[in-house]
Structure 1
Amino acid sequence: MRKTNLITLSGVAPVGLSIEVNGQRFDLIGHEPYLTKDGATTTLMLWQAECATCGEGFTTTAAPNRWPERRRCDLHTRPGKAVVA
């Protein structure tokens, strides 16, 4: 099975949307403008979740067609280290 982090939404995702990513809940709390390296303007989705390690709340952003990849708060961030449920 191929792993993917793409999500499919029709139109702009509404604030208040909740998704579950590998057993962890993410709530969409807003949208924020973003200027890409090539000068294009886009909008990032602002997600709120609880840290998979300590349960503390944190926010993270993701492109409109991707789910949030960050699963831990700033204190417990471990890039590349899988979250074990």
Structure 2
Amino acid sequence: MTAHGDDSETGILRCFGQQLRLLRTSRGLTRAEPGAKLGYGEDMVASVELGRRIPRPPRMSAAAAGTPPSHTGALRKRPRGEGCRK
């Protein structure tokens, strides 16, 4: 995704990133910890959380599920009331 993407794409990426950040911080993890498990550096994790970068699909599923990419498991439902901020 580049800065030239449309607003709906950008909103989806930001929402995904917010959910990842909420999951990471709720577990008390730094950006380095899930990054190491997913094969990403802290800068890439930050970029994904901010909606600036798109992770590869297997890693995206793993990140959303909070599991390593080799075992993605099922995506977890977000708790009620924890939608994306605009």
TM-score higher than 0.5 here? Answer: no
User: What is the TM-score with the length of structure 1 in the denominator?
Assistant: 0.28
Decide which structure has greater helix share: 2
Decide which structure has greater strand share: 1
Q: Which has the higher contact order (CA 8 A, sep 6+)?
A: 2
